Structures are given as C-alpha cells and as structure tokens.
Amino acid sequence: MYAEIVQEPKFYLDKKNFLPEATSFLLTGENLEYLVKVFNSKITAYLFKTFYAGGGLGEAGFRYKKAFFENLPIPRIDKQQIQSVEKSNNDEEISIQLGKIYGFSPIEIDFIARKLKTV
C-alpha cells in the first residue's frame, strides 16, 4: 500500500487487512518485501522525485501519481540480491546496495548520498 501525496515515502506491506484510505493504492505481485524496502529507501525517493514525479509539491512533498510511478525503473535482480535487501533494516545500507544494483559509480553514489539529506 502507498499514499499518493507524501512528504517522504510511506510504503507499507499489509498481509492481512488491506484497508487503503481515500488516496492510497495497493500493489500486488512478487517480492513485495523487497519492493517495500526499495520504495521506502531515500535513494529511490530521490530518483523518483528528481526524475519521475512530474513536478513536486514544493520542497516539502511529492506525488506518487500512478502514471509517473509506473515509469520508475526497478532493476531486475537475482534472488540473493533480493534477500540481501530484504534482510537490511538500515536505509544507508539499502541505498548503497541499490546504488550498486543501478550501476552507479562510487562518485554517483556519493553525490546521491549527499543529496539524500534533502529528501
């Protein structure tokens, strides 16, 4: 589940209740634990807000509009990489793993890490 208008990512995996609010959406499919961590990570929030959000809501927020959210590239990775991300509870560690998965150079990862403080 996710809210459309947020100040920061608010993705939630609900395996029992499925009670979305008025401007919330449900995602279905495989590897949902992995996807929730990816979507809640600051690196993905930075990438979405910077390149895919179709315009922000000022400095304080952004909108996960379905038409834009569908364009966010999520790299296909192997089961071992998925499990590695799923086991991590530290956003910095997840962001570094995702930077490598996206194929960013160390300079690009460092640049995004500095920018993450503004997300």
Number of domains in the chain: 1
pLDDT of residue 58: 64
User: What's the domain range around 10?
Assistant: 2-116
Taking only the tens place, the pLDDT of each residue in 19-53 is: 766 677 778 888 999 999 999 988 888 888 888 87
Phi, psi of 11 (to 5 degrees): -90, 140
Collect all residues with Cβ–Cβ distance below 8 Å to 5 and sequence separation of at least 6.
23, 57, 61, 62, 63, 64
